């Protein structure tokens, strides 16, 4: 982040708030001309600061109102077990995020399902049969306090 100046950070912050912002509005927020803003935007994409755009959807309206985090402990922590587990997780559309973590378990999985019955089915039919799974701990989210996913740009 050392090579980003104030205008770059302003562009990133504006895009993160509204990925559909017009070039005119983005230029005003960055304090630059539209041409200069376009060039910076292209550079920020090329350099990997901007990795993509997508719409934010309402999970409840789409029948995925229950958010669950799952700690996964593997039976072995060897490269082949990690590889096979990772490949299985990538194929599971219910899994929104999966992170290999340090600590008392191996992976933290974030999933969204319709309800507890759907989660029980996911757990029994998809997660437990994944390669290497020894143990899981489930945390059903009662309230989402903050989930905007915005990175601090400073």
The position carrying tokens 């927020």 is 29
For the record, the structure tokens of 109 come out as 């999985």
**Model confidence over 5-34: pLDDT tens digits?**
999 999 999 999 999 999 999 999 999 999
**Model confidence over 39-73: pLDDT tens digits?**
999 999 999 999 999 999 999 999 999 999 999 99
The position carrying tokens 């292209």 is 42
Residues of each domain in the chain carrying CATH 1.10.10.10:
6-46
Q: With CA atoms as reference, report the closest residue to 109 among 154, 62, 68.
A: 68
For the record, the structure tokens of 145 come out as 């306090």
CATH classification code of 60-140: 3.30.70.920
Instruction: Report the alpha-carbon distance of residue 77 to residue 73 in Å, rounded.
Output: 9
Rounded to two decimals, the pTM is: 0.88
CATH of the structural domain 6-46, one choice from 3.90.1150.10, 1.10.10.10, 1.20.140.10, 3.40.309.10: 1.10.10.10
What is the pLDDT at residue 3? 87
């Amino acid at each position: 982040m050392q090579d980003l100046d104030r205008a770059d950070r302003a562009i990133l912050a504006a895009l993160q708030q509204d990925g559909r912002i017009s070039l005119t509005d983005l230029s005003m927020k960055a304090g630059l001309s539209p041409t200069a803003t376009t060039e910076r935007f292209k550079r920020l994409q090329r350099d990997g600061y901007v990795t993509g755009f997508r719409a934010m959807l309402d999970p409840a309206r789409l029948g995925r109102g229950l958010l669950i985090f799952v700690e996964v402990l593997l039976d072995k922590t060897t490269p082949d077990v990690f590889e096979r587990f990772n490949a299985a997780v990538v194929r599971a559309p219910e899994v929104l995020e999966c992170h290999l973590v340090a600590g008392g378990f191996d992976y933290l999985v974030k999933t969204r399902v319709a309800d507890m019955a759907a989660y029980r089915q996911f757990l029994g039919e998809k997660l437990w049969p994944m390669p290497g799974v020894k143990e899981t701990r489930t945390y059903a989210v009662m309230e989402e306090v903050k989930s905007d996913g915005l990175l601090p740009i400073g």
